[in-house]
């Protein structure tokens, strides 16, 4: 664990406190060190120097200043009082810097854990478990002969990065937040990550935003002037915009620009390095932040599907446009194909709607492009199957990206199309999940029916299920007082459970009418049937196995004698062996199952249960006597 005491910094330029993690926020480097990163040298030394988010900073200061009075004074804690704070926002805007400097300004001892530290449940308990309920002693110089108890604050950086390696770390962190005697400041980039949602309920929510480019550009000009650079205001703003308002990235890019300019200057007599707007535009691709890193999956999909934006591009412009859309595919290549497949027809449909009064040639041109886009989408499906199939041909992934771009080219046309609204999430994922559920249910139903039905799953789905559903539903809807009795007999004959009839059959129903489903039955009828069904022991092969009734071959029940025939079955009838298969000695009695009285089955089963219980009790008594001896 790394313990950082920010109170020792003051205005002295010391080495970066987070060498291991590489995080520059809150660290300082010697201002005269020519090899130091500018992000270290010009990191804020006071919370007032942080760019933007002043309202959130003030809230953090007020919360931290009143923490002991709220939680350690014995007063009643209100529902809105939070023991921890959660700072969220994009990277490079000063979240960690803010947390450290606020703790330093209030005279607290700062402890920090980030992604480079182990943060599993066991590690957290061992390393910081005792720190959450204590203070730290600060020894003043000998002349003062004083010992001061300093308050602590714990900074948990990058909590959204707690992954599989940090086993049960998030649950342990939430537990510590509930019981901690010191304030905890959690920091994350993605506020809506599933890992952070449960933690956010116990924290003061502080959302940091990117500072506006004019504010960052002003600070960039000041730093450039201190480093011997002359930067135009429009060049500074273009630099900030190309880096996505990431202050750390801006300073790194500016330092790289200055280093390269000094290296190219043959006679550097101390004159300033000039950074003009046109010079920056010519070299922006060298230092700018990758635009696709800031694009969401849906925006990238929209960029691919809408196709080229201009018909007047030259060859180089068309090639750059292709590479840009191809890079967009790799922002999330596992889902991008499904996203394109879900939404590209909407672009074509929108074009046909606009051509409602157009000529036949214009409509035919859209239809031809629809064919080409569909063919490209089919080729993409084949390629993706090779990539994710058994052979794992990952070398075809680039071809998948090109085919996805081809789909967008044909859908949008040479001058580009328009996707109305926001891209829809791939519906295939939900459909595939439902398909998997139906395959599982059909497999279970086939297992239940295999006592008397030896058919494939397709035959059961198309032939047996519709017929059985209609027969049983008609019987359940009848007004006959013995309807439940007859339905149970049919179910037992086919090995069907109550869940098979009332749930699975409805899942496989193709009718949109509620009257054609078991869920439409009267609640009283359903309750009466359930009571009667639960009172009985169902002898079907599949159900007996699921209910956990073990049956041994040639088992004897009550007064049933040994020997062959029906005497070998505990129910006095079917004679199943251990594997659920019919014994050869009872092959002649298969047709007599329907004649066995249900009451006799229950009584026989109860007799066996009592007999087994008495045997078990005798064994336990004998065992206890042996132990005493």
CA pair distance 184, 204, nearest whole angstrom? 10
Number of domains the chain contains = 5
Predicted local distance difference test score (pLDDT) of residue 370: 93
Predicted local distance difference test score (pLDDT) of residue 400: 94
Average pLDDT along the chain:
76
For 15, list phi and psi in degrees, rounded to 5. -70, 160
Least-confidence region, from 153-157, 166-170, 352-356: 166-170
Residue 132 in tokens: 């959450």
The reply to whether 353 and 385 lie within a common domain is yes
Predicted local distance difference test score (pLDDT) of residue 369: 93
How sure is the predictor about 622, in pLDDT bands with cuts at 50, 70 and 90?
low
Comparing CA positions, the residue from 565, 541, 544 lying closest to residue 554 is 565
Predicted local distance difference test score (pLDDT) of residue 380: 95
Bridge partners for 84 per DSSP: 184, 203
CB contact at 8 A, 292 and 251: no
pLDDT tens for each residue of 597-609: 444 444 544 454 4
Predicted local distance difference test score (pLDDT) of residue 395: 92
CB contact at 8 A, 38 and 194: no
CA pair distance 286, 260, nearest whole angstrom? 11
How sure is the predictor about 365, in pLDDT bands with cuts at 50, 70 and 90?
very high
Comparing CA positions, the residue from 221, 278, 285, 282 lying closest to residue 251 is 221
The reply to whether 69 and 139 lie within a common domain is yes
**Has residue 111 got a pLDDT over 60?**
yes
* Contacts by residues 257-263 (CB-CB < 8 Å, ≥ 24 positions apart): 257/283, 257/287, 258/224, 258/227, 258/228, 258/229
Cα distances from 338 to residues 395, 396, 408, 413, 464, in angstroms, run 20, 17, 13, 21, 35
pLDDT tens for each residue of 127-145: 776 676 655 555 555 445 4
For 184, list phi and psi in degrees, rounded to 5. -125, 130
The reply to whether 363 and 459 lie within a common domain is no
CB contact at 8 A, 509 and 517: yes
Last residue of a domain, one of 426, 443, 468: 426
CA dihedral of residues 603, 608, 613, 616 (deg, nearest 10): 180
Rg (CA), the chain: 37
CATH number of residue 227's parent domain: 1.10.8
Predicted local distance difference test score (pLDDT) of residue 514: 64
Least-confidence region, from 37-51, 222-236, 277-291, 611-625: 611-625
CA angle 476/478/484 to nearest 5° reads 45
Please give the model's pTM, rounded to 2 decimal places.
0.52
The reply to whether 61 and 172 lie within a common domain is yes
Least-confidence region, from 96-105, 185-194, 311-320: 311-320
The reply to whether 533 and 463 lie within a common domain is yes
Least-confidence region, from 331-340, 398-407, 415-424, 504-513: 504-513
Cα distances from 488 to residues 22, 366, 412, 475, in angstroms, run 70, 59, 60, 11
Predicted local distance difference test score (pLDDT) of residue 287: 64
- The whole-number average pLDDT for the span 10-22 is 31
The reply to whether 163 and 272 lie within a common domain is no
The reply to whether 266 and 360 lie within a common domain is no
Last residue of a domain, one of 177, 207, 237: 207
Q: Which residue has the higher pLDDT, 72 or 138?
A: 72
CATH number of residue 312's parent domain: 1.20.272
Q: How many CA atoms lie within 13 A of 28 on its CB side?
A: 18
pLDDT tens for each residue of 445-485: 888 888 788 888 888 888 888 888 888 888 888 877 788 88
How sure is the predictor about 545, in pLDDT bands with cuts at 50, 70 and 90?
low
Q: Which residue has the higher pLDDT, 78 or 607?
A: 78
Last residue of a domain, one of 379, 394, 426: 426
**Has residue 402 got a pLDDT over 90?**
yes
The reply to whether 462 and 392 lie within a common domain is no
Predicted local distance difference test score (pLDDT) of residue 563: 41
Count helices and strands (H / E) in the chain. Answer: 25, 10
Predicted local distance difference test score (pLDDT) of residue 383: 93
Residue range(s) defining the domain that contains residue 574:
550-627
The reply to whether 222 and 191 lie within a common domain is no
The reply to whether 198 and 242 lie within a common domain is no
Predicted local distance difference test score (pLDDT) of residue 68: 85
Predicted local distance difference test score (pLDDT) of residue 581: 41
The number of residues in the chain equals 629
CA pair distance 204, 191, nearest whole angstrom? 12
Does an H or E element contain 154, and which?
A: strand 152-156
Residue 460 in tokens: 């059961």
The reply to whether 50 and 180 lie within a common domain is yes
The reply to whether 276 and 411 lie within a common domain is no
């Amino acid at each position: 664990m790394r313990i950082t005491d920010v109170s020792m910094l003051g205005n002295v330029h010391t080495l970066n406190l987070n060498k291991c993690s590489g995080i520059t926020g809150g660290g300082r480097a010697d201002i005269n060190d020519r090899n130091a990163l500018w992000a270290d040298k010009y990191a804020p030394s006071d919370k007032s120097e942080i760019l933007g988010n002043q309202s959130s900073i003030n809230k953090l200061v007020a919360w931290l200043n009143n923490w002991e009075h709220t939680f350690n004074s014995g007063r009643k804690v209100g529902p809105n009082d939070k023991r921890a704070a959660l700072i969220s926002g994009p990277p490079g805007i000063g979240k960690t810097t803010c947390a450290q400097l606020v703790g330093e300004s209030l005279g607290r001892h700062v402890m920090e854990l980030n992604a480079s530290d182990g943060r599993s449940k066991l590690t957290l308990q061992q390393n910081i478990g005792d720190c959450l309920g204590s203070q730290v002693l600060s020894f003043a110089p000998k002349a003062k002969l004083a010992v001061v108890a300093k308050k602590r604050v714990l900074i948990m950086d990058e909590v959204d990065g707690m992954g599989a390696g940090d086993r049960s770390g998030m649950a342990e962190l939430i537990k510590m937040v509930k019981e901690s005697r010191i304030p905890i400041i959690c920091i994350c980039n993605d506020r809506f990550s599933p890992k952070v949602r449960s933690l956010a309920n116990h924290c003061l929510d502080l959302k940091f935003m990117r500072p506006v480019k004019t504010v960052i550009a002003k600070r960039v000009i000041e730093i450039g002037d201190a480093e011997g650079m002359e930067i135009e205001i429009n060049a500074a703003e273009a630099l900030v915009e190309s880096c996505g308002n990431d202050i750390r990235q801006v300073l790194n890019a500016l330092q790289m620009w200055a280093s390269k300019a000094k290296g190219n200057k043959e006679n550097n007599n101390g004159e300033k390095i000039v950074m003009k707007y046109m010079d920056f535009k010519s070299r922006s691709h060298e230092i700018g932040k990758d635009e696709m890193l800031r694009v969401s999956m849906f925006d990238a999909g929209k960029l691919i599907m809408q196709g080229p934006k201009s018909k007047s591009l030259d060859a180089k412009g068309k090639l750059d446009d292709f590479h840009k859309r191809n890079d967009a595919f790799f922002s999330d290549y596992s889902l991008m194909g499904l996203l394109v497949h879900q939404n590209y027809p909407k672009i074509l449909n929108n074009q046909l709607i606009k051509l409602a009064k157009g000529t036949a040639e214009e409509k035919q041109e859209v239809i031809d492009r629809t064919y080409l886009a569909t063919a490209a989408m089919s080729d993409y499906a084949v390629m993706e199957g090779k990539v994710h199939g058994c052979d794992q041909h990952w070398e075809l992934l680039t071809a998948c990206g090109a085919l996805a771009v081809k789909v967008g080219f044909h859908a949008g046309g040479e001058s580009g199309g328009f996707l109305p609204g926001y891209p829809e999430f791939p519906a295939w994922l939900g459909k595939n999940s439902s398909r998997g559920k139906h395959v599982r249910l059909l497999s279970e139903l086939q297992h239940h029916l295999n006592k008397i039905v030896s058919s494939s799953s397709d035959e059961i789905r198309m032939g047996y299920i519709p017929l059985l559903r209609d027969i049983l539903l008609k019987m359940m809807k009848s007004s006959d007082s013995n309807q439940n009795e007859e339905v149970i007999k049919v179910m037992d004959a086919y090995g069907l459970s109550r869940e098979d009839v009332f749930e699975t059959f409805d899942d496989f129903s193709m009718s949109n009418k509620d009257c054609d489903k078991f869920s439409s039955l009267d609640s009283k009828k359903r309750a009466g049937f359930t009571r009667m069904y639960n009172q009985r022991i169902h002898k079907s092969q599949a159900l007996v196995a699921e209910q956990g009734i073990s049956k041994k071959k040639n088992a004897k029940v009550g007064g049933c004698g040994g020997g062959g025939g029906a005497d070998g079955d505990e129910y006095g009838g079917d004679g199943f062996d251990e594997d659920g298969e019919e014994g050869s000695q009872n092959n002649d009695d298969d047709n007599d199952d329907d004649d066995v009285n249900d009451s006799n089955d229950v009584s026989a089963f109860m007799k066996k249960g009592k007999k087994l219980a008495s045997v078990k009790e005798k064994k336990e008594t004998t065992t206890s006597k042996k132990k005493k001896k």
